[in-house]
Each structure stands twice: as structure tokens, then as C-alpha cells.
Amino acid sequence: MTTTNPLIDPVPSEVPLARAPLAQVLCAVSFPAILKIVDASGTGVAAFQEAIRAEYPVLNQEIEHAFTFQMDDKNSFAPQITANTVWRFLDKDQRWGVTLSRESLALHTQSAYTTRTEFLDRFEGMARAFCDALDPAQCTRVGARYVNVLDGAMLDDVEGFIRPEFRAFGHQPFLDALVSGNQRVEFVVPEGRLVVRAGILKAGQTHDPQAIPAAEGTRYFLDLDGINMDAREFSAAEIRKTAAGLTERVYTMFRWAVTDKLLEACNG
């Protein structure tokens, strides 16, 4: 099957890659804030931890700080720093992670991704355990994000690996003189929205430190983010169905963006 329009065409057959260029894969679901999640004692998340502890036995507790603005007695807005507890659950090899905050739950991996089916199975199981333990009021957002990186020898042939639409000036004779290159476009797709970020990261640069930490060398990145913001009942099965559609749309765009030469190089 040939894809002619990656924004609406059916997903092509998945081609397993022995050395996929994935730097990060993440699926996340958002919900109205549940304040007991940020209880630093852990009491509010104990049932959820117990439900997933066999798969994700390592627990890290972190504090995230955020700025908010509140009106003071002089009718001016004063900045306030708020601290929120974030829980990170990892498997014993620390290759899979679950992150829980007061408004979102995410599954992510950097090196253990194999197939969409396995990833969605884990995502659904995590969502079901969360639903049983904390009974969220509804689901307000589902996202699926795949971040790809080409570096080293693969960067030398980026012109042969990536279609022109996704590598603006990321090739010779422009590459050596390029200071920064980062394009962002957003599309309406049947599943919701698709955000495409792509470009060249020079040494020390990153477009998102949580997705791709800064590094010493030059890299090309292709960051595909599918988003659905339809509010609905929090159902693990429905969330999986939504996430599956988003991952398929992301994969369809990935296959459109890369050439057969890249697929062969990843399996060569």
C-alpha cells in the first residue's frame, strides 16, 4: 500500500527496525487534578504503586516547581512558586518508566521499544491500574509522541534518509554553516492534531531537554506528537483505542518522512 497523504491515509504495515532511530517514545493521558497525588507521604498513590509494583518496582519521588501569579492586596499580580510532587516508577532495568503527577499519567521508554502492540498493552494496563486506584473524573487529553534522532555516520547521509519537507537546510552545503534549525508545524488529522517538529541540533542544543538532552555532536531530530483533546469518561480501553489511533497516525507520518534507504540502513 502506497501512502499519498499521511494526514488521512491508513497506516502502512509496520516494518520492524533492528536499530530504530528512536530517542524517546511516550504516551500520556491527562485528567482533572487529583490533589492527593501530590501528598508527599505517598498515601494517595499507595494503591496505584501496589498495582504496578511487579512491573515497575523502582520508585523515585521528585518535586517540580512552577510559577503562578496571584493578585495581592495592592491589586497587582505577584509571582508565587508552587511545589508539586511527581512520582516516577521504573522497571528493574530502568528502561521503562511511568510518571504520575496531579494532572497526568505517562508511560515512556528510551531504549526498550519493540512494537506498538507491546507499548499499547503496557499503556492500557497502567491506565487501568490508575483508574481502579484513583477513580479519575474523566480523561481530558491523550497524547502519543515519538522522537527520532540521526547522528554520527547517519547524519552524513541525512539528505538520502529524510524527505526535503522535513529537513529544511539540514544538508550540505548549508549544514556546516547552520547555527540553528528548528521547524514546527501542526496539522488537523482524523485523530485530533499532529505536531511535527524537525531540524538540526548543533552541539549543546536541544529543542526539548526532557525529550532529547543536549549532546556534544550535531544531530538531526524528527519529533512527531499526536494529540487528542476530546473530554470523555476515563476508560482504559477507550484510552488505548485513542492512543492506538494516534500512534498509527504518527507512524504514517514517519514512514512518509523517511526514505526506504533509511529503513534499509536501520536493518543493515
pLDDT at 79: 65
Q: How wide is the angle at C-alpha 31 spanned by C-alphas 26 and 32, nearest 5°?
A: 150
Whole-structure pTM value: 0.90
pLDDT at 268: 81
What are 205-241's pLDDT values in tens digits?
888 888 888 888 888 999 999 999 999 999 999 999 9
Average pLDDT, the chain: 91
What are 103-157's pLDDT values in tens digits?
999 999 988 899 999 999 999 999 999 999 999 999 999 999 999 999 988 888 8
Per-residue pLDDT, averaged over 155-162, amounts to 90
Strand partners, 148: 22, 222
Residue 201, pLDDT above cutoff 80: yes
Q: Which residues contact 35 (CB under 8 A, 6 or more apart)?
A: 102
Residue 29's φ and ψ, nearest 5 degrees, are -130, 140
